[in-house]
Amino acid sequence: VAPQTPKRATGRPKAARKRARRYHHGDLRRALLQETLRTIQAHGVEGLTLRGVGQKLGVSRTALYRHFADKAALLGTVSGEGFRTLHAQLAAAWKDNGEGGEAFAAMGIAYVQFAVANPSHYRVMFGSGLDPDCAPDPELQQAAAGAFQALVDAIVSQQRQGSVRPDEPLMLARFIWSLVHGIAMLAIDGRLSQGEAIETFTRFALERSRTGITEG
């Protein structure tokens, strides 16, 4: 879909100066999602205001309710897009690095890098902002499951190569997921070392997850 410029009555009398656009434009929904993400990246979830989003877009503060049920639904959609982006980056890291042990490490690095590069987005993706446990939102659930599946597939592939022990793939995937998720969260919260040291640590942690912390 080509970007649709709003129809302008160019020959309009000056009396219409107050309101340049009436119905904003053709794709308010996408604009709302973009502005939401931009606001979150800049000021965090707690800095997100529906009124502010509307104002930035030159739209009434209730126009949003034509496209999303409420604030939670808006954030849920943003969250789903995050999981799809993450999924794509994980898949790329796996494919672009030979689909072996090195590629698996690259996936882990890519995971943490996504979180560090988009901390607020990542936080929205993982619960804390959403309601306790109501409205699981199937589409979001599916997007998250898709990203997780990339991890499972990579593990199964390595098991076939004989480089990973033949445990239940789901358990191994959860193990690695917990590790990178923990690193990502602590890194975002500033509880690990700063800046580029994060990648060094992530590499160390992934290496330890391969061979363990035991002596010998």
Q: Which of 74, 87, 114, 123 binds a second copy (CB under 8 A)?
A: 123
Which CB, 62 or 178, lies closer to DNA? 62
Residue 152: partners with Cβ closer than 8 Å, 6 or more residues away: 169, 170, 173
From the list DNA, a second copy, none, pick the one residue 186 interacts with, judged by a Cβ distance below 5 to 8 Å according to partner type: a second copy
Of 73 and 205, nearer to DNA (C-beta) is: 73
Site string for a second copy, 162-181 (x = CB under 8 A): xxxxxx---xx-xxxxxxxx
Q: Does 194 bind a second copy (CB under 8 A)?
A: no
Shortest separation between residue 47's beta carbon and DNA, angstroms: 9
Give residues in contact with DNA (CB under 7 A): 22-24, 28, 48-52, 54, 59-63, 65-67, 70-72
165 binds, among a second copy, DNA, none (CB under 5 to 8 A by kind): a second copy
Asked if 32 and 49 touch (Cβ cutoff 8 Å), the reply is: no
Q: Residue for token digits 């997850």? A: 209
Q: Exposed, middle or buried, 127 (CB in 10 Å: 0-12/13-18/19+)?
A: exposed
User: Helices 101-117 & 169-188, crossing angle to 10 degrees?
Assistant: 40
CA distance between the termini of the chain: 60
CB of 147 within 8 A of CB of 86? yes
Binding residues vs a second copy (CB under 8 A): 44, 46, 123, 126-129, 131-133, 144, 159, 162-167, 171-172, 174-183, 185-186, 188-192, 201, 204-205, 208-216
